[in-house]
Amino acid sequence: MADPDSRKGSRYADEAALDYLAKVHTPHDEALQAAFEAHERHGIPPIQVGPAEGKMLALWLKAIGATKVVEVGTLAGYSAIWMGRALPEGGKLWSIEHDPKHAEIARENIALAGLSDKVEVRLGDGVEVLEELTTEGPFCAVFVDADKERYDRYGRWAFANLRSGGLLLGDNAYLFGQLLADDARGAGMRRFHEEAAAQMDSVCAPTPDGLVVARKR
């Protein structure tokens, strides 16, 4: 029987249980830990995905046999490391970051993970760099974790440049509790949801801040 409160999130896992589950299912090595703790050392925002979300991204890429992936929003490279490790020999992840400091930190962490041959950090505006990458497609997956008011634009690019069966993945889909806000961020995120649902097979997974998973038909 389904839990009638399941859409509100888990009522059963407290902090100790979550710590235990992270140690069992998503242990960190040196490179992952360095990227995960980069905000403490470098004074950047602590806004990367959590360990469970990072591992989910990797598992989804493996499940579809992904070889060409785009990430919009690199930060310190934490999610890029998870995804880069999911790619086979010859696979490629292009990760886009607009902040030069974040890009440099990410490159260091990606090198520590031994992934410099698979993961390329592109510095620049997300929309502009995506247009530059169009010739590299079609892509197997696009992961969006960047400026929220332009999620709809990133989603449209992904739909146009994904292969059949490819995945569009969008973090912060609940918009920190502001999804229905009457502002540019709320409007952009709602368009992202609505267009993904209209064009693709989609669901919003109940991660801590929501994660859209959409498959191109």
The structural domains of the chain, with segments of one domain joined by +, span: 13-215
Domain 13-215: CATH superfamily is: Vaccinia Virus protein VP39 (3.40.50.150)
- Is residue 55 within 8 A of residue 25, CB to CB? The reply is yes
Distance CA 167, CA 66 (A): 9
What pLDDT is attached to residue 4? 40
Predicted model pTM: 0.94
Is the model's pLDDT at 202 over the cut of 50? yes
What pLDDT is attached to residue 169? 98
- The interaxial angle of helices 126-133 and 151-161, nearest 10 deg, is 0
Residue 11 pLDDT level (bands cut at 50, 70, 90): confident
Is the model's pLDDT at 32 over the cut of 70? yes
Is the model's pLDDT at 77 over the cut of 70? yes
- Is residue 168 within 8 A of residue 207, CB to CB? The reply is no
Q: If you count them, how many residues does the chain have? A: 217
Full strand arrangement of the beta sheet holding 201-205: 119-123, 92-97, 68-72, 139-144, 162-171, 211-215, 201-205
Nearest to 81 by CA among 51, 101, 102: 51
Is the model's pLDDT at 2 over the cut of 70? no
Residue 177 pLDDT level (bands cut at 50, 70, 90): very high
Residue 148 pLDDT level (bands cut at 50, 70, 90): very high
Give me the residue label for tokens 């038909």: 217
